[in-house]
Structure 1
Amino acid sequence: MKKPFERLDFVSSLEHSILSPSTTESQVLEGCRFAAAEGVKLVMVQPCFVETASAALRGTPVLVGAVVGFPHGCDLTDVKALSARRLRALGADELDMVLNRSLLRSGRLLEMEADIREVVDSAGGATVKVILETGELSEIEIAQCVEAARRAGADFVKTSTGFAGSGATVESVRLLRRLAGRTLGVKASGGIRTLDQALALIEAGADRLGLSATPAVLAEWDKRFPDER
């Protein structure tokens, strides 16, 4: 089978997620060692492990990401903003914030946009991705969220937290890509467990993939395209 692109290009689109609420420090350190060895784009951790990951990845090109308002997005806006400032100071390069769907469903779209903007403004230059939970939203609601993220100055829109009933799908990524154009990046996450899923989501328009099954997916790549390692 012909490779769709080079392994290096594939690996550089991957964000290795370590977000289970029962994750231990040793698991974070193991994940960071794996990420540094493989050269993935980023390691995504819970806020309590940002310092750990930052120290472990110092001197490597691997970025540190952290979540804000995770996984429901219903924290007060000033709490999200404070979290963004603190996480940036602790070493986070990128922040994945959860959009407040309660505000969306209540028709309070300007407040929803302001919630995003406060995080962007508090992020100290860190890349900000806005998690929509696309599986819970209508196409109209998704369009409203993408526009709010764009207006608020976010860098990416992201399909899912991985903690809801549905994750990334080819259809949701295609929709986000169409709505975002090239003004926003698109990150697919949630339920990505196989190489075929990953490749299909990239083909659909994802710039980044967030997954915890990174070792298994890369092992699949190396088995399918053994000439590259």
Structure 2
Amino acid sequence: MGIVKKIFKKSRHTEEDGIFFDEMKKLLGFKPVNLSHYRRAFTHRSSNKTDANGNPINYERLEFLGDAMLGAVIAAHLFTEAPTGNEGYLTKMRSKIVSREHLNELGRDLSLIQWVESKVSEQHFGENIHGNLFEAFIGAIYLDRGFNYCEKFIYKKVIIPYVDIQKLEGKVISYKSLLIEWCQKEKKRFFYEVYEDNGAEGQKYFAVKLQIGDKVVAKARATSKKKAEEKASQRAYFAFQEKINRK
């Protein structure tokens, strides 16, 4: 009986690994070798897992690695495809490609969140979980198959479908940064006044008034200070668009 029980446990474990292997292969476009890297890429810190030495097992360190790999591949691509771009131009273009908004979009497109192992519900993850998982997944690829396979994946999932240099040149990733840069260049005083505005919905909101010079030029409301400031900045940008874009 003991032998039969041992064999049954082993076969069940192999079946689970087989399903995970097949799903990872679909995502990657090539065969994974060490599944433990990918399991770690989907392990949330709330799982409280540790290795034999007591070190935490979760995707946060893989995020760091994946961010570096993604930045390196994108930088090399831009260096080749934009031969006349200076350092500032290349840095701006890379920032547009690896913006948090875009990384979240990539993570959502791949439905990476379905593989997360966590002790908290999905609604408590926060919006950036998708981008974090995408970076961790890239880190796992690097550890598992090395730089060439990592580069292959980034080209397939990021560069080929999303990186159009001409379109990216006109893309704004932060209206607040753009507006602040213009105000500083034009020596205009600006001020964001933010306050809580809970309203009747029962949800916490923040309202912001953006003042340039002596005039309030835009107002906005959102579920976070950052979003409210960005929304107000976007409205102000469109109000001053011709002046801001003037060479």
TM-score by length of 1: 0.21
- TM-score, with normalisation over the residues of structure 2? 0.20
CA radius of gyration, larger in: 2
Normalized per residue, which structure has more helix?
2
